[in-house]
Each structure stands twice: as structure tokens, then as C-alpha cells.
Chain A
Amino acid sequence: MVDEQNRTLPIANVGRIMKQILPPSAKLSLEAKQRMQECATEFISFVTSEASDKCHRENRKMMTGDDICRALSALGLDNYAGAIVRYLHKYREAERERVIASQNKATSSSRDEDIEESDQSGQPSLQADETPTPLMNIFI
């Protein structure tokens, strides 16, 4: 299934996230997954535009994680902003540790540090304490 020529998030991944939330006995129509796929893609575009406008106004060329957090807040999605700020903090700490650790290793092979292509970087897993939670708790 071609996901709109790669212009949307992959439907398999979206479906997997949805299933994590739903009870095991729940069924999910294909059209619901497609609609969610489109909504999530639009979410990215919507927040990115807001973040990009701000960067422009401040004459900055590079969009950062902080810009995305601020955009989330500006668009009324404060709950997400709060959680993402904490997530970003943990991620940056982990990255610092990773860099220090690889510098300390005498025979470490050089890692691709090109930040524009982050797909292969050793991103820390933060899934352990970020398990899916019911709606009530999701915004703590």
C-alpha cells in the first residue's frame, strides 16, 4: 500500500499506535486508520508551519525541538507541550551521555554525527516509562 506517495505517515505504524490504545477486542476499520493517518500528517504540517513562522520572525534558519514545543503551546496544545519538553530534556541528556561515552571509549568507531540525517543515530529508547496511559493520566 503506497501511503499517498510517501506524503503521509505509514498506515501500519499509525494502526499499531491506535491498537495500543484500544482494548484487545476492539475492531478498527481500514477507513478509520486512513483518516487517522491523514489527521496525524496534518498535525505535523500544522505545528511545523507555526514553528516555521516563528523562526522566520526571529530570523533563525533552523527549527529546533524547542520551537516545536513553543508551537504546540501557541496552538493550544499545552498538554503535549509539557510532556514533550520533558521528553526533549531526557533525550538531550541521553545524547550528552552518549557523546561522552563514545569519547571515553579508546577504540570507538566513529559514529555518523550528521544531525541533518538523524535516522541512524543512537536514539535512546524512552518507551520504558512512557507506556500508553488512559486519557485521564496522559497529560501529567
Chain B
Amino acid sequence: MRQAGSYSGILMSGKTGPHLLPLARIKKIMKKSGDGVKMISGESPIVFSKACEMFIGELTQRSWMVTMQGKRRTLNKEDVASAVMATDLFDFLLNLVSEDTFKSS
């Protein structure tokens, strides 16, 4: 069943959908992920655009909770580090934020 409205308008006009992240850059990052990454389907960067949006959203929300606990209004990098440390799923980021975790709050 066709969906009417702006959705089909974008389909018919051939305009690029308003993705929040540039697909070419995502593709570049994917290709640099390892020697084994050779061919990438056209939908892969689009999938990552969405996944990154969700990831950034979640990490931002968790970081902001740390900011609020500290009764501050500015989200800083130590808050991001704290959120990473508090979330098991984000263990792959521990090295990335390790330099931010030894500052006194």
C-alpha cells in the first residue's frame, strides 16, 4: 500500500533523504576498519547512519545524566567518559576515554 504525502514526494523527486550523517564519510570509515572490508552494499552506510544516530543519542543521554548528577548544565568530556565506564556495552570505548577518567569531578 502506497504511503501518500511527503514520504512519496521524496521518493519521486529523487532528492537525497535528510540523513543526519554523511554517507560518503561513513563509507570511508567502514573501509578503513580493516583489510577485509572490500565491498559494501549501498544500504550499509544508510544502516550505519541510523545506528550511529541511535548510538550518539544513547551515549549523550547517559552522559547528560552524569552532568545532572553533578548539578551542572554543561556536558563535558568527563561526563562522556563516566557514561562509557558505567555501561558494559560500551567497553569497546574504554581506551578512547581512559585519559578523561582520572580527573576529579
- Give A92 to B41 CA distance when docked, in angstroms: 12
Q: Could you say which of B6, B58, B92, B93 contacts A128, with CB atoms under 8 Å apart?
A: B6
Contacts of B22 in A (CB 8 A): 9-10, 13, 119
| Given A29-B74, A91-B46: A22 touches B60 (CB 8 Å cut-off) | yes
User: A116 contacts the other chain (Cβ, under 8 Å)?
Assistant: yes
Contact of B43 with A65 in the complex, beta carbons under 8 Å: yes
| Given A63-B41, A128-B6: A123 touches B60 (CB 8 Å cut-off) | no
Contact of B42 with A43 in the complex, beta carbons under 8 Å: no
Query: What's the interface size class on A, roughly?
Result: 35 or more
B21 to chain A: closest residue by CB: A13
Contacts of B33 in A (CB 8 A): 44-45, 48-49, 52
> Could you tell me the distance in whole angstroms from the C-beta of B27 to the nearest C-beta in chain A?
8
> Could you tell me the distance in whole angstroms from the C-beta of B55 to the nearest C-beta in chain A?
5
| Given A27-B75, A44-B26, A45-B29: A21 touches B17 (CB 8 Å cut-off) | no
- Give A41 to B100 CA distance when docked, in angstroms: 18
Q: Could you say which of B11, B43, B60, B64 contacts A88, with CB atoms under 8 Å apart?
A: B43
User: A62 contacts the other chain (Cβ, under 8 Å)?
Assistant: yes
Interface residues of B in 40-91 (CB under 8 A from A): 40-48, 50-64, 67, 73-77, 79-81, 84, 88-90
- Give A7 to B56 CA distance when docked, in angstroms: 17
Contact of B61 with A135 in the complex, beta carbons under 8 Å: yes
Q: Which residues of B contact A (CB under 8 A)?
A: 2, 6-8, 10-30, 32-34, 36-48, 50-64, 67, 73-77, 79-81, 84, 88-90, 92-93, 96-97, 100
Apart from A48-B37, A80-B54, A138-B58, 11 more pairs, CB < 8 Å: A7-B32, A10-B21, A18-B56, A20-B57, A36-B56, A49-B37, A55-B36, A64-B41, A115-B41, A123-B46, A124-B17
